[in-house]
Structure 1
Amino acid sequence: MIEVAHRTEDFPPAERFERWREWMGSTHAPVDLSSEHAADYHARIRILRLGAVTVWPSTLQPLLSRRTAKLIRRADPETYNLTLVLEGTAGASWNRQEAEYGPYDLHSQSSSQPCTVQVGRPGQTVRCVGVEIPKDLLALPRKSADRATGRPLSARKGVGALLAGFVTGLIADTAGYRAADGPRLGAVLADLASALFAHSLDAGRSLSPEAHRRTLTLSIRAFINRNLQNPNLTPQTVAAAHQISTSYLYRLFQDEDVTVGALIRHQRLERARQDLADPAQYEIPVRDLAARWGFTHHSAFTRAFRSAYGTSPSDYREAMRPPR
C-alpha cells in the first residue's frame, strides 16, 4: 500500500487553493474547481493506492467541482468513482438529473460522464471518502455498471453498509498493512462496488425474466471473482453453486464477451500476473503464485501465461524487476 498525505495549511493562504487544485488534477480525472474560500482554503487529503484502486479520505471546505465534456476529451482515466459522505452534505447534477447527499449516502459517477458536484454548504466542513476503481476491474459488464452510476445508494444497510464499513475500517489505521496487501484490498473494494452496483440495478423493479437473468449473470461474475483461488472452480461448480444447469449457465453467457471457462482462466492469469509484478512477492516461487490462483499444474499455467501475455511467467517477473 502506498499512502501520501497533503494539507493546505502547510502553505501560505494565497497559495492554498491552487495547491489543492494541483493535487486534485494530478490524483484524479481533470476537474474544474472553484470555491468561495479560495483566498484561504483549508483542506486535507490522504491518498491510498491499493494497486489500481485509489482511496482518498479528505476533510475540506465547500467547493464546486465540474467535470465537463471538454475535460473528458482531454483525459479520461476510465474509472468509476464512489464518494461516501461522512459529515456534511453534497449535491450532484448530471444528464438533467440532480441528487442530494448527506452522511452515509454514496454518490457514484463515471469519469466518462459530465457531472457537477457541490461539496458542502456555507459554513460547513465536509468529511468524505472517495474510491476510484478502473472500469475493467468491476465484475460486471460495463453497460450495466454505467446504468448503475448516479442511482441512489445508501451506506446504512445491505451491501452499501458492507462497503462503507470496509472503507472506514481501512482508513482508520493503515500501519498494520504491508505493501503486498494493497492490491488485495483493492480487489476486495472492486468486488464490493460490483455487488453494490448489481444490487442497485434491481432496486424497485419487479423481477421480470430479463431482470432475473441479468441479476443472475452479475451474481455469477462476482462469485467467480471471489473464488478464483479455489482450484475446483469450474463452470460445473459455478452452475451448482447457483442451482442451475451447466447448459443454462452457458446460455446466460452467450451474450457476454467471454465464455465462463475463459473468464475464470483470464481472471486467474491476471491475478497471477499482478502478483508476479509485486516487489513484495519476488521471493515467492512462480509455482506457488500459480497454485495460489487455482493453477494446479505448473506447465499448464506457463503455457496459458505465455499464450495470454507473450512471455513466460519467469521472464515477465524478471522484466518487471527494478534495476539493481
Structure 2
Amino acid sequence: MERAGPSDAPFHLKISHHQSSGIMLNKYEFEMPFILKRTYQSMARVDQEFICIHYRIKGRDTGCFFQGGECPTRPGNIRYHDLTRQYVVDSRGLTGFTLYIDRALLLDHMPSIDHLHGDLMADSPVTRVFKTTLRSAFEQFKHANASEAASLSGILTAIAIDAIKLQRIKDLESSEIGQMSVLQAVVNHIKQNCHKRDCTPESIAKAIGVSRTKLYRVSQPFDTPMELVRQIRLRKAAEVLRKAADTNIANLADSVGFSGRQAFTRAFTAEYEVSPKDYRKAMRSAATATPVRDGPVDIIWKKLEESFKNAQIA
C-alpha cells in the first residue's frame, strides 16, 4: 500500500474482523487517499488463497486496474477479486465490507472462475440480498456463539456463490438457486426480528431488498410470508420452553412477537398439539427435554436445503 507523505506519518485505518468456517468478513474504514498494489511478490508471502467480494459503502476509486482494464469502484458497487491475481486500486479513501472465501471451497461449486477477476456484479435481487445480509451478519457475528457463527458463514457463502453464478447466467427468474438465496436471507432476517410486532411482509421485503411480489414468490413453500413468520416464532418459543422450563408464558408470548398470551397459546396448541403451559410442565418434570417434533417449517426447509445442495448451474 502506498500513500502520500512520509512513510512514518500517522494515518487512520480501522479494520473490524470476523472469521468462521472457511470465511473472513472485514469492515474497512480508510479516510485518506492510497494506492493498493497486489503483486505476485506480495502473494508469495501469503499462505492461504482467497476469493474476496468487496461491497463499497463510501468512497470512490480514481483508478482500478484488473485483467479487463480500468473500472473504478463506486459506492453501492460489489466487486469480485481473485487474490491469486494481480491488481491495482487507486482510491480516495473508502468504507466497505469485504467477504473472503477460501478459493478451494469456491472451486468446488464453480470450477471456472478465472475470468471473473475484477468484475463488478450486476444489480439484481440476489446482489441486493447479499448487501443487506452482509451488513446484518457483520452485526450478528459480534454476539454469535460458534454454532451461530457457522450458520451465518454458511448463509453468506451460499448467497455469495449464487451471486457469482448469476453474474454468469444473467437470469434470476429462471434460477432455483436465486430463489433459494433470497429465501435463506428471508429466514435469517425473520429469526433475528420475529420478536418485533412490525415483522410484516412489507418490512421484510424492504430489509432484504426485494419486492413484495418477490417475497411472496419465494415464500410459497410456506404458503405466505406471515405463515413463515408464525412458524419461526413458534419454533423459537418451543426452544425457549425446552431450555428454560421456568419461563413465564405471557412474557414468552411477547418476546416472540405475539400480541398476547391467548393468541400465542392458541397458535402453539394448534401447531404442537399441547398447550405452552402443559409443555412447560412436562419440561419441568422431565430429566431431559423431549425434542419438539418437526413442524411444517422444519420439514419444508429440510427439503429445500436438500434441493439447494443438489441444484447445479453449468
* Cα shift at 1:139: 7.2
Task: Indicate yes or no: 2:125 matched with 1:185.
Answer: no
Residue 112 of structure 2 aligns to a residue in which SS? helix
| Contact 1:80-1:133 within 8 A present in 2 as well | yes
Does 2:72 match 1:100? yes
Matched ranges for 1:102-141 at <5 A: 102-119=74-91, 121=92, 125-138=93-106, 141=109
1:40 to 3, 6, 10: 10
Residue 196 (structure 1) aligned to one of 146, 149, 163: 163
The amino acid of 2:42's aligned partner reads: L
> Can you list the C-alpha shifts for 1:28-59, whole angstroms capped at 9, x where unaligned?
xxxxx111155121111101112221011121
**Aligned length in residues:** 184
Q: 1:56 aligns with which of 12, 26, 49?
A: 26
Q: CA deviation at 1:171?
A: 2.3
1:87 correspondence with 2:58 = yes
Question: Between Structure 1 and Structure 2, whose CA radius of gyration is higher?
Answer: 2
Which residue of 132, 137, 154 maps to 1:170? 137
Residue 196 of structure 1, CA deviation:
0.7
The correspondence of residues 288-303 of structure 1 with structure 2, limited to 5 A, is none
**Identity score, percent:** 15
Mapping of residues 1-324 of structure 1, within 5 Å: 33-36=1-4, 38=7, 39-60=9-30, 61-75=32-46, 77-90=48-61, 91-95=63-67, 97-119=69-91, 121=92, 125-138=93-106, 141-154=109-122, 157-172=124-139, 174-203=141-170, 219=177
Name structure 1 gaps, 5 residues minimum.
Answer: 1-32, 205-211, 227-287, 293-324
Give the TM-score, by structure 2 length: 0.50
Q: Deviations over 1:171-223 (max 9, x none)?
A: 2454442232222211111111110110111239xxxxxxx9xx89xx59x89
Deviates most, 35-44 or 108-117: 35-44
Classify the secondary structure of the residue corresponding to 2:170.
coil
1:253-287 Cα deviation digits (max 9, x unpaired): xxxxxxxxxxxxxxxxxxxxxxxxxxxxxxxxxxx
Displacement after TM superposition at 1:149 (Å): 3.0
Q: How far does the alpha carbon of each residue in 1:55-94 deviate from its partner, in whole angstroms, 9 at most, with x for none?
A: 1112102221111122234435221111110011134212
Q: Is contact 2:68-2:118 (8 Å) kept?
A: no
Question: SS of the counterpart of 1:100?
Answer: coil
Q: Where does structure 2 lack aligned partners over 5 or more consecutive residues? A: 185-290, 292-297, 299-314
The C-alpha deviation readout for 1:219-257, integer Å capped at 9, x for no partner, is 59x89xx8xxxxxxxxxxxxxxxxxxxxxxxxxxxxxxx
Q: Give the letter aligned to residue 180 of structure 1.
A: S
